[in-house]
Amino acid sequence: MPVALVTGASRGIGAGLAQRLAAEGCAVACVARTMTDADSHLNGSLMATVDKLRSAGATAHPIASDLSSPDFDAAAVIAEAEDVLGPIDYLVNNAAAAFYPSYIEMPRKRMEISFRVNVMAPWLLAQEVLPSMIERGSGSVLNLTSQTGEMPEGPPFVVSPQIQGATAYGGSKAWLNRATIGAASELYGTGVSLNCLTPDVAVATEGSTALIDLSQHLCEPIDTMAEAAWALLTADPEEFTGRIEYSLSLLHRLNRPVRNLASDGLLGGWQPADFPVDQLQSPRVD
């Protein structure tokens, strides 16, 4: 049984990814700081996710850890996951800290949290799992990223979500994109892949709707992100590594059927032929 570790698995995309990985036969280590519903003002918790996976017959283990803490111990997280489930085959760095003050108004504390969660935690966790993956000749690291990590075009600059208030968040994701491609180039030929995955359009989750009004936006379901994630995690590491892929664009290019999170049927209305082609992004392949 392959073993996956998903960060930010208490709700939203992370919980959905954990569900899909479990449905594909993985034992899943779910990592977040919120162990129970009582620990957060948002809906969702590690135990809610794990209980859902276990009720479906999957093997799952919760690990409470605050990735934003300066004392975050990636080695301890990986050690606990491997002690309970075995060596990690798939590392999914999904957890993110998104703050949107302007560059000159960003508080230092929030800037530090952004980089601890979006930059340091994925790097530290990858450092812990990659040696074993390389030794075994297989494994995959998938980093969830953002369109804000792309460089704004200009000058002249047009005010847009990529620019206004997204400099710190986008900057951290830009680092993640560059580091992923760099690590993939260093490890090419080992049987291990490292890729980034970005939503083509907004994904309405508990966290995103708390930050932004998405009522007027086209939103893709978590299921399409999960399908694209599973495609990258299981793709040929000689071909699919060092990529910054967009969810719907990847699925459309591969003409890949989209299954629901339980992987027991196709998702109605969200097959490749249904995608809003005019809103798809070009893949970033370096």
| Cα first-last separation, the chain | 33
Alpha-carbon span 109 to 122, nearest angstrom: 19
Q: Quick one: what percent of the chain has pLDDT higher than 70?
A: 91
Residue 282: both structure tokens together:
């070009």
3-state secondary structure of 203: coil
What's the pLDDT at 164?
72
Q: What domains sit in the chain, N to C, each tagged with a CATH number?
A: 3-285 (3.40.50.720)
User: What does the pLDDT read at residue 214?
Assistant: 46
Q: 182 Cβ partners below 8 Å, 6+ apart?
A: none
Work out the number of other CB atoms within 10 angstroms of the CB of residue 160. 11
String of DSSP letters for 34-90: --SGGG-SSS--HHHHHHHHHHTT--EEEEE--TTSTT--HHHHHHHHHHHH-S-SE
250 phi-psi bin (left φ>0, alpha ψ -120 to 50, beta other): alpha
**142-181: per-residue pLDDT in tens?**
999 999 999 888 899 887 655 677 899 999 999 999 999 9
Q: What is the pLDDT along the chain (286 residues), one digit of tens a residue?
A: 999 999 999 999 999 999 999 999 999 999 999 998 766 666 789 999 999 999 999 999 999 999 999 999 999 999 999 999 999 999 999 999 999 998 999 999 999 999 999 999 999 999 999 999 999 999 999 999 999 999 888 899 887 655 677 899 999 999 999 999 999 999 999 999 999 999 999 897 655 444 454 444 579 999 999 999 999 999 999 999 999 999 999 999 999 999 999 999 999 999 999 998 888 876 554 4
- Residue 57 is predicted with a pLDDT of 98
Tell me which residue has tokens 């208030």: 165
